[in-house]
Amino acid sequence: MKLKQFQSYLKSNNIDLVFLIHPDPNIIYFTQMKPSFALLLITASSAELYLSKLDLPPKVKGISVTFLQKDWEKRLADPKIKKIAVNKLTLSLQFAEKLKKLYPNAELVDVSSTLNELRAQKTPVEIQKITKACSITSQAFDALANRFSLQKFKTERDVAFFLEKFIREHDAELAFPTIVASGKNSATPHHVTSSAKLKPGFLQLDFGACYQQYCSDMSRSLYIGKPTKAEEEHYQLLHAAQLAPIKEVAANKPFTELDKISRKHLGKYAAYFIHSLGHGVGVEIHEAPAFSQEAKQMIKPNHIFTIEPGIYFPGKYGIRIEDTLLFNGKAKILTTASKELLSLK
Ligand SMILES: [Mn+2]
C-alpha cells in the first residue's frame, strides 16, 4: 500500500520509529493480512513485521518479517531513538508504559490522523478489492430476493445465514455481523439478528462481504406482504433522500454538505434520521473520511464511503438504504443491487 509515501512523511517529520501494535488496522493495511499477534516497526528506510509464530508470513514489498521471540523487548530497546510515533486510537496504556521503558529518551507523537488520511484515498488495488467485495454483497442480495419465500425463510437468522453462506461461497468473509431486522425490530438501526419469526412488514438488511481484507457495506429494505400507502411513501421519500446527496458528490465538497442535502430532502422526517449519513470503508468497516462536523473532511479523489440515510419510527418500523461509493471524479455506486421496494411473499 502507501508504505513509501508514509516513510517520506516520517523522514520529513524527523520521526525515528513508528511502533504499531496488534490489534491495529494499520497493520492490516500495510501487511494485507490479519495477524494473530504482531508488531510493525516502520522507519524512514525500513519496515519490520514481528509476527506471531502461529501465522504464515505475508509477502509484501518493503516489509521484512521476523517471528516474535520471547526476548523481543530486550532486542528492540534503543536509547538512541529520539522521536517515536504511535497510533493513539489503539495504543493501550500497558503498551505505552512498555514503550517508555524501551525508548527512555524518546518523545511520543501520534500519527493516527496521518495514517487515516493516507488510507482514506484508496490505491487501484484497494479499489479493485472493495469493488469485488461490493459485487459479492450485491449478488448475495439478488440471490436472496430471487429465492425468497416464507416457506424457506422462517426467521431473521435464516435470512442472515443465506447471505453469509453466499458470501463465504464467493471467497469472502463477513465485513461485520449481518443485520436482519423484521417488522418492529427494524426500528433499531443496529438490531441484533435473532431467531424472531419473519412478520409482514419491512425486512431491513445491513450486511457486507470482506474480500482480501477489504470491506463493503450495503443496506436494503424489503417488504413482506404489501406495503400501505404511507409505508410506500416513506420508502420513496427515503430513496430520494439517498439519491439526492449522491448526485451532489463533487471534489472538495465537505461531507457535512451531503448530510444536509439528505436531511433537507427528508423534511419533517429528518427528526427520525438519528445517525450520520455515512462513513469511509476500507480495511475497517468504519474508517476515514468521517462525516461529522468536527472532522471537517472533504471529498477527495479515490475516497470510498457510504451514503446511508435511514428513518426509524420507535415501536413501528425503520428503513435504511445504503450504498458504498467510489469518488473518481464522479460518484460511482459500487453496491449495484436494486433499490426498488420489493414485495415478498
Ligand atoms: Mn454503514
Q: Which long-range contacts (CB under 8 A, 24 or more apart) does 260-266 make?
A: 262/307, 262/309, 263/309, 265/237, 265/240, 265/241, 266/237, 266/238, 266/241, 266/309, 266/311
pLDDT at res. 229 = 98
Buried b (16+ CB within 10 A) or exposed e, 13-35: eebbbbbbbbebbbbbbbbbbbb
Three cell numbers, residue 64:
521484512
Question: For 288-326, how does the pLDDT look when each residue is reduced to its tens digit (9 = 90+)?
Answer: 999 999 989 999 999 999 999 999 999 999 999 999 999
Domain boundary (118, 149, 170) is at: 118
Q: If you measure from the C-alpha of residue 220 to the centroid of ligand 1, how many angstroms do you get, rounded to a whole number?
A: 11
Q: Which of 62, 89, 118 is where one domain is finished? A: 118
End of a domain among 118, 133, 148? 118
- Residue ranges making up the domain that contains 30: 3-118
Q: In a 10 Å sphere around its CB, with 0-12 CB exposed, 13-18 middle and 19+ buried, how is residue 217 labelled?
A: buried
The whole-angstrom separation of Cα 18 and Cα 42 is: 5
Q: What is the per-residue pLDDT across 177-229, written as a single tens digit (0 to 9) for each?
A: 999 999 999 999 999 999 999 999 999 999 999 999 999 999 999 999 999 99
Confidence of residue 34 (pLDDT cuts 50, 70, 90): very high
CA of 326 to the centre of ligand 1 (A): 14
Same structural domain for residues 114 and 10?
yes
For the four alpha carbons of 114, 116, 121 and 127, in that order, the dihedral sign comes to positive
**What is the number of structural domains in the chain?**
2
Q: Are residues 197 and 305 in the same domain?
A: yes
Shared-domain flag, residues 245 and 261? yes
Query: CB atoms < 10 A from the CB of 74, how many?
Result: 9
Q: Which helix (H) or strand (E) holds 76?
A: helix 72-76
Report pLDDT digits (tens) over 255-276: 999 999 999 999 999 999 999 9
Q: How far is the CA of 210 from the centre of ligand 1 (A)?
A: 13
CA 31–ligand 1 middle distance (angstroms): 25
Tell me, yes or no, whether 84 and 128 share the same domain.
Answer: no
* Per-residue pLDDT tens digits for 41-93: 999 999 999 999 999 999 999 999 999 999 999 999 999 999 999 999 999 99
**DSSP string computed for 158-173:** HHHHHHHHHHHHTT-E
Note whether 129 and 263 are same-domain residues.
Answer: yes
Cell 504499531 -> residue: 20
Give residue 233 CA to ligand 1 midpoint distance, Å.
23
Same domain, residue pair 106 and 206: no
Distance (Å, whole) CA 265 – CA 170: 37
CATH code at 193? 3.90.230.10
* Cα 64 to ligand 1 centroid, rounded to whole Å: 35
